[in-house]
Amino acid sequence: MGRQPVTDDIQFKHEPGLIRDKSERQVAHVFRELLSNKPSLYKVQNPYEHFEETPDGPHLSLKRLPRRFDFLHKVVPGNGTLSNKTYSTVLPVERCTEDSIP
């Protein structure tokens, strides 16, 4: 599957492809929004390694694609607690690639 670097026009695409971190290509994310700056650590549920040392710059707000393969059966909600943090996952734009298939 082809991958291309993520550009700032991702926010204008009708259906962006799956987003992947260059260092963790096996993990796919769904695009949520383009952030002009790195958000505060206290607003991110799953910060990436070395989050605090990364310089401020454009970041992508993402939601991790679930690992399950069986989408035909309904998932019974668990006892997981909901986070009050604004962003599930964020990554710097330069660390991301976009799959060519939406």
Give the per-residue pLDDT at 17. 84
* CB 98 within 8 Å of CB 13: no
Give the per-residue pLDDT at 8. 74
**For the chain, domain boundaries:** 3-66+83-99
Q: How confident is the model at residue 39 (pLDDT cuts 50, 70, 90)?
A: very high
Percent share of the chain, pLDDT over 90: 49
Least confident of 16-20, 54-58, 81-85: 81-85
Sign of CA dihedral 6, 10, 13, 16: positive
* CB 44 within 8 Å of CB 90: yes
What is the pTM for the complete model shown?
0.80
Give the per-residue pLDDT at 45. 94
* CB 29 within 8 Å of CB 62: yes
Give every CB contact of residue 19 below 8 A, 6+ residues apart in sequence: 6, 28, 29, 30, 31, 60, 62, 91, 96, 97, 98, 99
pLDDT at 78 exceeding the cut of 70:
no
Q: How confident is the model at residue 71 (pLDDT cuts 50, 70, 90)?
A: low
